[in-house]
Amino acid sequence: MPQNKEYKATINANGTNISIVSKENEDDYISLTDIAKYKSDEPNDVIRNWLRNRDTIEFLGLWEKINNPNFKPVEFDGFRKEAGKNAFVLSPQKWINSTDAIGIISKSGRYGGTYAHKDIAFEFASWVSPEFKLYIIKDYQRLKEDENSKLSLKWNLNRMLSKLNYRIHTDAIKENLISNDLTGKQIAITYANEADVLNMALFGKTAKQWRNEKPGLKGNIRDYATIEQLIVMVNLENMNANFIQKGLNQKQRLIELNKIARMQLKSLLNNKGVKKLQNLNRKQLR
């Protein structure tokens, strides 16, 4: 998985959708723009008004001092002295650019707007409406619980089987499809294409197609597979490795793998052993 890949999600606070973005191994940033829409049809004005307050500047400065070694204290002191005065105006962009702040970010595009680290976002939500803040926290906790369930024993066990078995698949690709004259980029594309042969055979779509359809989900298509699908994926990895070694072209392999996937899924869906495994995992998660 590429480093610093960005993930997107949405929570619903009492009927208001609020976007969340995060990067791998980093904290969540919640849309201040969406929170501000609860109070006004002009969310940018709401955010700027919040930034004019001295208490806000004090809080943001303290957060940056704790979490950001590159924060500029001299520039911060200038804002703190002016905060609260009638003539004082501060935009998120000016705060970010002047102090090298990391707690607030501005984004463009579909998920554009002003975002803030969850600590700051909850503080902003309190200023907008304490009641609304509780709704935000409640659904944010629901989101975190849903994400944690994907990291449960059930998910880890079956996903690990697929990952471990994938070594057999990549070794077959390396030995039979990778030549010495290929560039690093061409080699990476070869591995990705073969991974998508398996994805197409089992899920009927490539990894990129799945990401485009599910922009709010973390991970990849296999992270959201069922137990039955993960069992079949392990088998497909072995079969594709065997087909590659036998010299079958990609189109032939995809056709055969799809037949195998459909046959095995049909069998597993009615398999009592798989159902027992599912029930066991459910008990362990309680």
Give the H/E segment covering residue 241: helix 227-246
Give the pLDDT of residue 224.
83
The pLDDT value recorded for residue 160 is: 60
pLDDT by residue, tens only, the chain of 286 residues:
334 567 788 999 999 999 998 865 578 899 999 999 999 999 999 999 999 999 999 999 999 999 999 999 999 999 999 998 888 999 999 999 999 999 999 887 666 799 999 999 999 999 999 999 999 999 999 888 776 655 455 555 555 655 655 666 667 677 777 777 778 788 778 888 888 889 999 999 998 999 899 887 877 888 888 878 888 888 888 888 889 888 899 899 999 999 999 988 888 776 555 454 444 444 443 4
* Residue 268 CB coordination number (10 Å): 18
Residue reference for tokens 């392990």? 234
Tokens 């029930």, residue located? 279
177 φ/ψ angles, rounded to the nearest 5 degrees: -115, -10
The secondary structure of residue 105, as a DSSP letter, is: E
Q: Is 0.85 topped by the overall pTM? A: no
DSSP code at position 211: H
End-to-end CA distance of the chain: 31
* DSSP states along 55-75: HHHHHHHHHHHHH-TT--HHH
Helices (H), 52-183: 54-67, 73-82, 92-99, 118-128, 130-150, 153-176
CA distances from 119 to 126, 226, 239 (A): 11, 34, 49
Cβ atoms of 93 and 121 within 8 Å: the answer is no
117 bridge partner residues: 29
pLDDT score for 272 = 55
Distance of alpha carbon 51 from alpha carbon 247, whole angstroms: 65
pLDDT given at position 284:
40
Structure tokens at 236: 């497909």
